[in-house]
Amino acid sequence: MTGPIAIPGLERFSRAALGHLPTPIEEAPNLTAALGGPRILIKRDDCTGLGFGGNKVRQLEFYMGEARARGADTVLITGAVQSNFVRTCAAFAARLGMQCHIQLEERVAEVDELYRNSGNVLLDRLMGATLHAYPAGEDEAGADARLETIAADLARRGRRPYVIHLGPGHPPLGALGYALAAAEIAAQDRKADLGIGRVVVASGSGATHAGLLYGFRALGGADIPQRKVTGICVRRPAAPQSARIAERVAEIGRLTGHPVDLAASDVDIADDLLAPGYGKFGAAVTDAILLAARSEGLFFDPVYTGKALAGMIRMIGEGRIARNETVLFVHTGGTPAIFAYEPALRAAAAAAR
């Protein structure tokens, strides 16, 4: 194939294109050597630019594009206390001259004051977002409904609110950002002849994972090789996450008007490192974070990228990822959350000297 690589149907969606794209793909030779193969490449989506970057920049380009098209002056979003999504939304709102209302959900039990005030929460406040609390952590429908209540109150006061919903049942606009990312990766692979056969990514809300999977399947053909997309669970076990990803891919197809054929085997999920749960982590994740920092100078967070890296390392050790593969690990950012976990990470770094 010699022409441009594109996903059909995306050109009709509004987009606030503020990300620093395309992001580079870098070799990770020291990490590759430490793991004894396969060849590891890193997709540097921690370098998307706006508001400390990360994967949510690609997603919010589409949400905020629609918000602007609707004439909104206020955006509302929900997420965990240390959510990267809400922090990036506040950055978009600041850049676009909008107000931002953030709802913080109690997803992680027994946290300290550092967790509640450092990292992403500090950045939310610096950007002038209005913060709201939501007492539940696993109630997506309730959290979305509460956003609608806040939005209705803002509308009564003369604002023009736009709600970014988290739960299923709403158009997955954010996932379109990672359908585009799949085309970006395919173009970079073709140009540099990288031979990427597998992409590994943290799988949480599902927008990034499903967007990549949809994008690669939409690009499938004789002239573009298929790539396996492996999601490492960070929020829910493999069975419900697999169903969520499959449904999200179907939703993207309905949204674009270009559905893709998806076999059950296409949804590749591993939940080995999910315990002890969302926002919590054990020795394997700590070891992965230290390995990335000390072998490649890369910073991975305990919630998403550190857990995904640890999951990939385990899959390599158990032979579920072959030694002769070329693997692209998507670094989805989340760096500010590292500081919310400072005591545990500081102790781990000192013990590993």
For residue 138, what pLDDT band results from cuts at 50, 70 and 90? confident
Task: Specify whether 83 is catalytic.
Answer: yes
- Mean pLDDT for 124-141 is 94
Lowest mean pLDDT among 36-50, 57-71, 218-232: 218-232
**CA distance linking residue 103 with residue 83, whole number of Å:** 10
Mean pLDDT across the stretch 191-199?
Answer: 96
Return the pLDDT at 221.
62
Please name the residue that has the structure tokens 């709102």: 93
The strand pair at 25-27 and 39-44 is best described as: antiparallel
Across the range 319-342, mean pLDDT stands at 97
The structure tokens 């999910």 sit at: 274
pLDDT at res. 1: 47
In the chain, pLDDT over 70 holds for what percent of residues? 97
Cα 191–Cα 196–Cα 198 angle in degrees, nearest 5? 150
Q: What is the token pair recorded at 113?
A: 């004051």
Selecting among 83, 118, 203, 205, the annotated active-site residue is 83
**Entry pTM:** 0.96
What is the pairing mode between strands 130-134 and 99-105? parallel
In our burial notation (b when 16+ CB lie closer than 10 A, e otherwise), range 295-329 reads: bbebbbbbbbbbbbbbbbbbbbeeeebeeebbbbb
Q: Which domains does the chain have, with CATH numbers?
A: 10-54+172-351 (3.40.50.1100), 57-164 (3.40.50.1100)
Check pLDDT > 60 for residue 223. Answer: no
Contacts of 110 (CB under 8 A, 6+ apart): none
Q: What is the pLDDT of residue 220?
A: 75
Question: pLDDT for 248-270, tens place per residue?
Answer: 999 999 999 999 999 989 999 99
What's residue 2's pLDDT? 54
- Distance between CA atoms of 263 and 213, rounded to whole angstroms? 11
pLDDT of residue 224: 65
φ/ψ of 66, rounded to 5, equals: -70, -40
- Pairing, β 74-80 against β 99-105: parallel
Taking only the tens place, the pLDDT of each residue in 97-131 is 999 999 999 999 889 999 999 999 999 999 999 99
